[in-house]
Amino acid sequence: MKAVFFDRDNTLTHDEGYCHLVADFKWLEGAPEALKRLKDHNILVFIVTNQGGIGREFFTQDDMELFHSHLKEQALLAGGEITDIAFCPHHPKAVTPDMRACECRKPQAGMFYALAEKWDIDLENSVMIGDRQSDVSAGEAAGMASYLSDPASCLDRLVSHVITTHFSDSH
């Protein structure tokens, strides 16, 4: 099965740093439409997100899970669907040493491999979209076509291109 993987912060949602409060939730331009477009084409959507604020103790995993629940609800209200969200709580500056090193923090591909195994996803025929080079590098490390998105541009236009290029019947 093929899928589209997104980074969360500044790809789908507005972020001013360690966003974790539901009250601060805000879509980026074109994100709800992009999610709806993907659902309309029966393409699974996953989020892979570094959440180092957990390791740095800026917020808790429960805070993040509330934010993710809200994000998934808002996607449904927009006519889209997020199948699953993988996150990395680690950070090189984490408070405790065991939260500093891992195989999942992008640009490593651990989150992609875990989701691919859980959902039987064909990574080689899937796509990653993110706003940082580490997102693109992680997607490429997992064997996917990867796109750098511009938070100031309409995400729906990029997703339309991705669908045409990677998910049309002729490919």
Residues constituting the chain: 171
% of the chain exceeding 70 in pLDDT: 98
Give the confidence band of 18 by pLDDT, cuts at 50, 70, 90.
Answer: confident
Whether 171 is in a domain gets the answer no
Quick check: helix, strand or coil at residue 60?
coil
List Cβ neighbours of 110 (8 Å cut-off, separation of 6 or more): 88, 102, 103, 104
What's the whole-model pTM score? 0.95
pLDDT score recorded for residue 156: 97
Boundaries of domain holding 22: 7-166
40 annotated active-site: no
pLDDT score recorded for residue 171: 44
Residue 38's domain is classified under what CATH number? Answer: 3.40.50.1000
Number of domains in the chain: 1
The one catalytic residue among 7, 15, 135, 156: 7
7 annotated active-site: yes
The one catalytic residue among 9, 15, 131, 135: 9
